[in-house]
């Protein structure tokens, strides 16, 4: 009845049910309803400990024809392979991307690399809404430089279809002919099943877990894109759908379910992506997130080079950091730059974990040699600028 993949069989006494779906969680009798997707057979499977790791689902704008042929959401390896297959086979000429976030930008790049004409529609004033608008503007410009037809502050209003297949994307201002459409409109926790069972959910319906990844129900655990996560800077729960956080949470849940004791302290929203040669990264709180908390803050921003100007390959980098007014305690940072810029966000992320002030950041003993960095690392220069604003 249960099909056990080889990887599980080899080392563990695990029944791994593939092509099966849990259709209901029964908390009072501590059992789940399982359906075999091939045979349709259903049964109740009892549990002592239950791990809910249902991940996220792509958000689809509530628009007619959004499920038409030729419209793709990219959320799983499989959905990416399907998309690639269609592009290879049908050789679409015009691709339209809805949404300028991580997935939108990566898919725009992928289509450009295959010689397609790419349009991108973004509701906000700039792409990359997790960045401050002035930093997002640098990314928007990079899209324009690479001949993406970028339409900002335009909402998707309709989809034109012929024989069930998309032919155009309609926005408030225009009709964009489309051979293929990518939805980069974000995800939400796939928590419907848990919610229906009575497992409490919080921010954006993310399952509420404690620092041991236990839900509010004894013996029921959850981790990853289906839970809400503790934000170490805002000290509030937030929703983040990233592999880094999911991985750590999964490890912690596994340790605890196994009877040992582990704690996931929380996350700070560190993320990185690239569009062509432009690297984009962020951590902690953005300007808007700080404003929403009602905190007073200062900012240090520098546009410089990531290596000494005389060194071959020195490239533009912009670093922006926010800190608490008065104390100077770091709240967040953003980086946009060319090659070898993005990963520097890890220094800012580590400073956030440490609770450093911008003054402490100035005196970090960071690495320098001309092939790698100016003698004052751009991160420290941004901190020096912020110090002046305290």
Q: Which of 9, 41, 162, 343 forms a contact with a copy of itself (CB under 8 A)?
A: 343
Task: Work out whether 353 is an interface residue with a copy of itself (CB under 8 A).
Answer: yes
What's the order of all strands across the beta sheet hosting 278-284? 271-275, 278-284, 330-337, 316-324, 297-305
- Does position 375 interact with a copy of itself (CB under 8 A)? The reply is yes
How many beta carbons lie within 10 A of that of residue 204, not counting itself?
15
Query: Are 151 and 174 a contacting pair, CB within 8 Å?
Result: yes
Residue selected from 175, 247, 325, 389 as contacting a copy of itself according to rule CB under 8 A: 247
Residue window 66-105: x/- pattern of binding to a copy of itself, with contact defined by CB under 8 A: ------------------------------------x---
Binding segment (CB under 8 A) for a copy of itself, from list 32-40, 67-75, 87-95, 346-354: 346-354
Piece in contact with a copy of itself (CB under 8 A), picked from 26-34, 218-226, 269-277, 311-319: 269-277
Q: Which stretch binds a copy of itself (CB under 8 A): 63-71, 193-201, 220-228, 339-347?
A: 339-347
The least CB distance from residue 161 to a copy of itself, in Å, is 34
The residue from 191, 278, 357, 373 that contacts a copy of itself (CB under 8 A) is 373
Nearest to 339 by CA among 277, 273, 280: 277
Stretch binding a copy of itself (CB under 8 A), from 112-120, 157-165, 217-225, 277-285: 277-285
Q: Is 242 in the site for a copy of itself (CB under 8 A)?
A: yes
CB 335 within 8 A of CB 282: yes
Which residues lie below 8 Å from residue 153, measured CB to CB, with a gap of 6+? 122, 123, 124, 125
Q: How many residues does the chain have?
A: 390
Does position 271 interact with a copy of itself (CB under 8 A)? The reply is: yes
Tokens read off for 66? 């959004």
Q: Choose which of 281, 286, 287, 318 interacts with a copy of itself (CB under 8 A).
A: 281
Does position 351 bind a copy of itself by CB under 8 A?
Answer: yes
Region for 142 from its dihedrals, namely left if φ exceeds 0, alpha if ψ lies in -120 to 50, beta otherwise: alpha
Other C-beta atoms lying within 10 Å of the C-beta of residue 220:
21
Assess contact for 44 and 31: CB atoms under 8 A: yes
CA pseudo-torsion sign 218, 219, 225, 229: positive
Binding residues vs a copy of itself (CB under 8 A): 102, 232, 242-245, 247-248, 264-265, 267-274, 279, 281, 283, 340, 342-347, 349-354, 356, 360, 362-369, 371-373, 375-377, 379
């Amino acid at each position: 009845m249960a099909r056990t993949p080889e990887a599980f069989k080899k080392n563990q006494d695990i029944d791994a049910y593939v092509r099966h779906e849990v259709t209901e969680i029964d908390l009072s009798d501590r059992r789940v309803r399982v359906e075999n997707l091939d045979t349709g057979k259903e049964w109740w499977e009892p549990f002592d400990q239950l791990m809910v790791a249902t991940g996220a689902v792509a958000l689809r704008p509530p628009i007619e024809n959004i499920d038409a042929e030729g419209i793709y959401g990219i959320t799983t390896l499989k959905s990416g392979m399907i998309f690639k297959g269609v592009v290879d086979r049908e050789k679409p000429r015009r691709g339209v991307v809805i949404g300028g976030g991580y997935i939108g930008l990566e898919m725009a790049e992928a289509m450009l690399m295959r010689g397609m004409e790419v349009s991108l529609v973004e509701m906000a004033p700039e792409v990359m809404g997790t960045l401050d608008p002035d930093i997002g503007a640098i990314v928007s410009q990079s899209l324009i430089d690479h001949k993406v037809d970028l339409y900002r502050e335009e909402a998707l209003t309709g989809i034109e279809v012929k024989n069930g297949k998309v032919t155009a994307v309609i926005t408030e201002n225009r009709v964009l002919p489309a051979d293929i459409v990518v939805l980069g409109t974000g995800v939400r926790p796939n928590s419907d099943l848990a919610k229906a069972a009575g497992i409490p959910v919080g921010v954006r319906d993310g399952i509420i877990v404690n620092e041991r990844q236990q839900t509010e129900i004894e013996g029921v655990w959850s981790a990853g894109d289906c839970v809400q996560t503790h934000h170490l800077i805002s000290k509030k729960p937030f929703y983040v759908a990233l592999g880094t956080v999911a991985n750590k949470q999964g490890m912690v849940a596994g340790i605890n379910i196994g009877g040992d004791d582990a704690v996931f302290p929380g996350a700070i929203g560190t993320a990185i992506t690239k569009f062509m040669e432009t690297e984009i990264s962020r951590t902690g709180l953005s300007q808007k997130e700080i404003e929403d908390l009602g905190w007073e803050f200062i900012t240090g921003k520098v546009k410089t080079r990531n290596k000494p100007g005389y060194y071959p390959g020195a490239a533009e980098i912009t670093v922006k950091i926010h800190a608490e007014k008065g104390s100077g305690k770091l709240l967040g940072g953003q980086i946009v730059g060319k090659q070898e810029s993005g990963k520097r966000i890890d220094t800012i992320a580590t400073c956030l974990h440490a609770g450093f002030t911008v003054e402490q950041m100035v005196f970090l003993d960071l690495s320098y040699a001309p092939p790698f960095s100016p003698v004052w690392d751009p991160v420290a220069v941004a901190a020096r600028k912020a110090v002046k604003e305290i």
